[in-house]
Amino acid sequence: MDLTWLGMQQLVGRWQKALNNEGYEPGDRVAVLLNNSPDWVAFDQAAMGLGLVVVPLFVNDNPQNIIHILQDSGARFLLLQEAQTWQKLAAKTEQFPDLKRVVCMGECPKKRKSGSVFMPASVWLPQTGDALYFGDGDENKLATIIYTSGTTGPAKGVMLSHKNILKNAYGSLRLIPVFREDIFLSFLPLSHALERMAGYYLPMMAGSQVAFARSIADLADDLITIKPTLLISVPRIYERILLKIREKLQSASPLSHALFNYTLDVGWNRFLYNQGRGKWHFSMLLWPLLDHLVAAKVREKLGGRLRTAVCGGAHLSSEVAQFFIGLDITVVQGYGLTESSPVISVNPIEENSPESVGRPLPGVETKIDSNGELLVRGETVMMGYWNNPQATHEVIDTLGWLHTGDQAQIEKHHIRLTGRLKEIIVLSNGRKIPPSDMEASIIMDPLFEQVLIIGENAPYLSALVVLNSDKWQELAKQHNLDLNAPNQPNSQGFQKLQEILLARIEINLKNFPGFAKVRVVCPILEPWTVENGLITPTLKPKRKRILSYFKAQVEQMYKDHPVFSGV
């Protein structure tokens, strides 16, 4: 389905009329639990125009967290995708008594109880709308409450004003040029602050087109069909593309493998030269041929028209960035927090420094405090946490500086992250190690689906690793190992597997200091999912929850060192 701007206006009008019929007052909270779609956008625009406060929810979130958000926000309305979702929540309605209406976009039961709050959108949504209402124009009013992923505790509601959002979109456009002719492919959930701002508000401000991918599983086909010019993504997507390409190269001829690596080297040197940070080399004369034989074929898999790919949400390793840039795919890394609306910085295309997370947006102040923590101040900093003034005071000081929790350095106006204050591992010998960098390197091996480095107050590092099911079966067959070996810690197969995994991990950590070495590994077959509560909806591991869940395995890895306090 294609929509013109006029068609979108009419759709917004229908949603606004339906919401008006419910009798809500400005400031009332309305929640949305939909897949990315024009209706998500229309509902958001309609609600904000009426002065309602939009509370986005992740469709793959667990019911317990959804209930917490509905309860904490006091949401009066819920728009959801599937009736089955409401069936999981309906028995707990006493926990969110403010909810007065639930509307479902998908198929709904034909029979409904009299007086039920539940209605299908086909009945609730009128066929035509009224003239749009745009509110009183007060940009300082609350526009949305976005609940953080909650890696260390219950999700907190980040309050963002209309000004927060508009300033962030406008500031981003001043560093990353976007045109009316551009086409975005939206596949990250719109409930994610990055996608909502950079994949929805920003292209709307620029007058660009947005296409919604069917799913992550269909992303490869959708890229070829839509042929986007801009893409917003998180590191894991780029990592998976890289791993697939490397996997195909394993079966290629030595000549093809060498040609690919040579193309990457020439492409990277060409990038440095064009950025003014490298010297010209005669090998660059071969680029048109190398591009035709290698790089252009990879770009075709991404649609063939990709002008810029923005990466945010987590740190992208320099190795991955260099890989894509070497293929003449402009990947620019950005950085932000939901609490900053969310973008704090991004690499301008003409000053793209992959080892950094870019320059602060215009109007965003940054500084490094005595603890090495990055502080941020400006009109994009949140209003505070909903119903939680204590948490607000803990992160925003009296001078208005937002304490990001990230350690960083600022070099030539570019921000380079060096670790998380709360996630820094301090070994018993005093060595400090940021685990995220190590985890990002280890996960470049396709055998490892998920990784958590641990070792707080211990004499050495260890790792919990979730094995990729297909790769594990191949490895077990190759080394004649029992497929259940990861669950048999006292078996010879487990010890052999331990040696194999440590050897592969060591290869990926070769560029780290000697003390940053994993001594013990615990292989796991059960994936960490949103459903089992071990990762956030944005795929970030919940460190404390994982350590508690695998307490017995962690204690086994440190059985000779009871001083360990990481559980």
Residue 295 lies in a domain: yes
| Count of domains observed in the chain | 3
Give the Cα separation of 324 and 409 in Å (integer): 25
- Which among 359, 314, 360, 308 is positioned nearest to 332, based on CA atoms? 308
Same domain, 339 and 433: no
Q: Provide CB contacts within 8 A for 342, sequence distance 6+.
A: 168, 193, 194, 197, 312, 336
307 lies in the same domain as 224: yes
342 and 238 share a domain?
yes
Q: Which residue among 367, 395, 420 closes a domain?
A: 420
What's the mean pLDDT when you consider all of the chain?
A: 91
Position 434 in a domain: yes
User: Would you say residue 338 lies in a domain?
Assistant: yes
Residues near 153 by beta carbon (within 8 Å), at least 6 away in sequence: none
3-state secondary structure (DSSP) of residue 451: strand
pLDDT at residue 161 in the model: 98
The answer on 219 and 133 residing in a single domain is no
Residue 153 is predicted with a pLDDT of 61
Q: What is the pLDDT of residue 565?
A: 41
- Residue 183 domain-assigned? no
Domain membership of residue 151 (yes or no) is no
Same domain, 411 and 431: no
Specify the pLDDT at position 115: 54
Domain range for 303 is: 205-379+406-420
Provide block-wise average pLDDT over 10 residues at a time, the chain (567 residues). 94 97 96 97 97 94 90 97 90 93 84 72 94 88 89 81 97 96 96 95 97 92 97 88 88 93 97 96 97 96 96 85 96 95 97 95 97 96 97 96 95 90 77 83 92 88 95 94 89 91 93 84 92 82 89 86 44
Note whether residue 335 is domain-resident.
yes
Same-domain pairing of 518 and 375: no
C-alpha 347/C-alpha 360 separation (Å) is 9
Same domain, 227 and 132: no
The radius of gyration of the chain from alpha carbons, rounded to an integer in Å, stands at 25
Angle between helices 318-326 and 235-250 (to 10 degrees): 60
Q: Which pLDDT score, from 0 to 100, does residue 561 have?
A: 55
Same domain, 549 and 480: yes
Same domain, 366 and 439: no
pLDDT given for residue 421 in this prediction = 80
Query: Does one domain contain both 245 and 276?
Result: yes
Q: What is the pLDDT of residue 138?
A: 92
E strand or H helix that includes residue 173 = helix 162-175
Residue 393 lies in a domain: no
The HSE-up count of residue 140 (CA atoms within 13 Å, CB side) is 0
> Which residues, listed in sequence order, are joined to residue 184 by a DSSP beta bridge?
210, 230
List, for residues 285-332, the tens digit of each pLDDT value. 999 999 999 999 999 999 999 999 999 887 788 889 999 999 999 999
Beta strand 432-433 with 425-426 is antiparallel
The 10 Å Cβ neighbour count of residue 511 is: 9
Are 321 and 444 within one domain? no
Model pTM score: 0.84
Q: Final residue of a domain: which of 387, 420, 453?
A: 420
The pLDDT score that the predictor gives to residue 113 is 58
Q: Give the separation between CA 98 and CA 77, rounded to whole angstroms.
A: 8
Cα dihedral sign for 165, 166, 167, 168? Answer: positive
Q: What CATH number did the domain enclosing 14 receive?
A: 3.40.50.980
The residue from 108, 137, 166 where one domain ends is 137
Q: Does residue 219 lie in a domain region?
A: yes
For position 512, which CATH number holds?
A: 3.30.300.30
pLDDT of res. 457: 79
